[in-house]
Each structure stands twice: as C-alpha cells, then as structure tokens.
Amino acid sequence: MPELPELLHLCSQLQTAIIGKSYENHVVNNVRVVKKEIFIDLDNHTSIKIHLMLTGRLSIYKSNITRHTFSFKKDSSILNIYLNDQRNFAKFDIVKTNITQQISMENILLTNRTKMFHRALRLLPGIGNYLVSEICGELNVYPLTKVENVKLEMSHIIGVINRLIHDITLLGGSHKYTDLYDHNGRYIPKYYKNPDMFVINSGTQRIYTRIKDPTIRKTSSVVTRSKSRGILKPINIKP
C-alpha cells in the first residue's frame, strides 16, 4: 500500500496538473493528503476522497485495469486521470470538505508511550510497513521496545521521521510504486525485508527473515512469535 512519501509525491503532481481545472463544473481548489487518503477539494465545499488501498494507482494512462476515469477540464482541454486497480481494492467518494488540524507526531507517540514502538509508529498519519522498518533501522531501535523505554530524545525521533519522509518523497517514493506518469519511485528501502534486519507486519507480530533460530517456529516463509516470548532479534538492533 502506498505510504506517506508516495502519496505526497502524487499529491504534488496532482496539484500541478489539476488545480484550476474543473471537475463536473466545479473548480479544483486544492489537493491534499490526510493519513493515507488523497482529497481533491472543489469550490462547492465538497472533495473527491480517494484511498488507493493495496493495489490502486492514479495515472494519466488508461489500461485494461482502469476502474474509473476522473475528467478535469479547462477551456477546451480535458485531462483524464485514471484509477487503475488490478484487484479493485481502491475506493473513492464525494464527501463534504472537512479540514481539521492533525495531532502532532510527538503527541501521538507520547499518548501511546506504553505501546511497542512499531505499533505506536503505525498510529502516525501515513506510516506503514516499510516506513516503520526504515524508522526503526535509522534510529537503531528494536521495534518491540516500548515507546517509554526508547532512550532517545523525542525531538530526535521526530526529526529522523520527518527527514526520512522528506528524502523519500523527493525520490518519488519507494521503487515498488508508480506515480501519476507511471514512473517508479527511486527509493530502495535499506531495512524493509532485509534478511539481516526485520519487518513487522501490521496487525501481527511476524518477522520475515532467512536467519535460522531454534527459539522460533516457521509458517511457510513467515517467522512467527513463539509462545515463550522468544522473537528473533535483528542484527545490529538492541532492545
């Protein structure tokens, strides 16, 4: 699923492409990202809300997996943007425009100080699997450490998160995702699914690895927690 850097990059492209054009006779005023959703704000106080989910992509190119066409007009020109989705997971709707101030990252982490670090990170807007791994790796924090036990200044943690998001966005996002013009991002994650590191899936405590360890049991290619609290500790990361 596209995460915050991919969505911010796509949002920037959409802002350039469609602001000032009209959609169904209403002018586009703004394009913004909230969590993992894209909002295209119109001048009648409504917004097109798009959630790409796992397999959805926005593109100027139509394909055999196009599920919907958004047509934006200005004078005699028309720009079609296609919602392409191989598995039809993506969702969109017309909603009333509602701009609310987002809670700061620091407040979210402090409010969830008793949660494991990787779970608290997932509560941050737009943060998912690969960003969680990149953040833990850059901070050298074991993901199952509780937030309150992380021995780093909160300002440093927030600074690293913001830097990663900024730098990855400038590279067009992860190499696994395409943008509005079907170009792949240029960022290759350092820690995500790295056999020497870790990846913890959303909703579960599963670590993908090729490292053998007698304290864990394997389910196909996935390594799961054992009942004895044993979990594979990644190389270079200390709890």
CATH label of the domain that carries residue 8: 3.20.190.10
| 234 occurs within a structural domain | no
| 84 and 173 belong to one structural domain | no
Q: What is the pLDDT of residue 211?
A: 38
| 236 occurs within a structural domain | no
Q: How many domains, the chain?
A: 2
Tell me how far apart the alpha carbons of residues 117 and 113 are, in angstroms, rounded to a whole number: 8
- Helix, strand, coil shares, percent, the chain, to 5: 25, 30, 50
Q: What is the pLDDT of residue 190?
A: 85
| 54 and 124 belong to one structural domain | no
Could you list the mean pLDDT of each consecutive 10-residue stretch along the chain, which spans 239 residues? Answer: 95 97 96 95 96 95 96 95 95 92 91 94 92 90 90 95 97 95 94 58 38 41 36 42
| 231 occurs within a structural domain | no
DSSP letters along 92-143, please? EEEEE----PPPPHHHHHHHTTTSBHHHHHTTSTT--HHHHHHHHHHHT--T
Residue numbers of the domain that contains 159: 105-224
| 84 and 114 belong to one structural domain | no
